[in-house]
Structure 1
């Protein structure tokens, strides 16, 4: 693989990850001032202004991690970890549509548990390919862990 192809790969991973974030934002953004503002949230819920920068940073870190797994050998050699990566990225987008788009915190919690498992599997697998790639996924896993607790709490506060 040429040096140019490697760097082009990084750009592709960044575009894909930020694109996934954008797809989730289509469901999320209008509801921040709408439905989300009207529901009960715990006092430890972060300010709305925190989520955008955190997610942008995490999507960039995920892109770099996936690129680091891909770049030594390409897609064929990294098929399994990149398939896991694509799966968790799809689940990430789906969560936004279930929670914000459909206003279903209970179903979103069920989905985020699956997302957490997928992120964990991806992180563990990335460590096998590159310790740096694995560590780049750890903040995302931590954030999804926090988001899971927040999602559960919002669901319970607004049940029935």
Structure 2
């Protein structure tokens, strides 16, 4: 087993650009989620049969606000760990690509589940999201361990969301 590569956090990107690049995709994902759920929570979602472990509705925006903040910080740190040259640069690009794919899956789940009312398709999307978050953690870990750790609560929440989505599918 090889040791983790620790790359100095010296990025060729200016701080403001890294900050914008970290915040914008996460904020867009949060906005998509908010728009997709706003009308559906009191109507369609309220009418679904849900398991006893379904949290109260107020828990979701609180949890997601904390998680989205942690996700943006993790992305900001990963962007700051971009190697300038060498073989680790390709690994960094792969970590960034995985990060962006999982953000896209995160943004896709809410409209699939809530707007389209496609509980089964939502389960597929959230399961893929869980796989991508775990892979993102693994890839990010090589470049910034704190960034990887910041994604662990997100992985736990997505694992819970996968279980909840599966239970709702089974019950409806």
Contact 2:126 / 2:162 at 8 angstroms: preserved in 1? yes
Contact 1:18 / 1:56 at 8 angstroms: preserved in 2? no
Q: Which segments of 5 or more consecutive residues in structure 2 lack a partner in the other structure?
A: 1-9
1:1-160 aligned at under 5 Å gives the runs: 5-73=14-82, 77=89, 78-158=92-172
1:75–1:31 Cα change, 3 Å: farther
- Give the Cα–Cα distance (whole angstroms) in 2 for the partners of residues 48 and 105 of structure 1: 18
SS across alignment from 1:129: coil
Root-mean-square deviation (Å): 2.0
Q: Which segments of 5 or more consecutive residues in structure 1 lack a partner in the other structure?
A: none
Output the TM-score relative to the length of structure 1.
0.91
SS across alignment from 2:81: coil
- Give the Cα–Cα distance (whole angstroms) in 2 for the partners of residues 4 and 69 of structure 1: 12
Contact 2:30 / 2:107 at 8 angstroms: preserved in 1? yes
For 2:7, the equivalent position in structure 1 comes to none
Q: Which has the larger radius of gyration?
A: 2
Q: After TM superposition, give the deviation of residue 79 of structure 1 in Å.
A: 1.7
Q: Which has the higher contact order (CA 8 A, sep 6+)?
A: 2
Q: Which has the higher helix share?
A: 1
1:109–1:132 Cα change, 3 Å: same
- Give the Cα–Cα distance (whole angstroms) in 1 for the partners of residues 28 and 84 of structure 2: 20
1:81–1:3 Cα change, 3 Å: closer
Q: Which moved more, 1:77-86 or 1:46-55?
A: 77-86
- Give the Cα–Cα distance (whole angstroms) in 2 for the partners of residues 157 and 17 of structure 1: 31
Output the TM-score relative to the length of structure 2.
0.85
Q: Which moved more, 1:22-31 or 1:8-17?
A: 8-17
1:20-55 CA distances to partner (integer Å, 9 max, x unpaired)? 111122111210111000010111100100100111
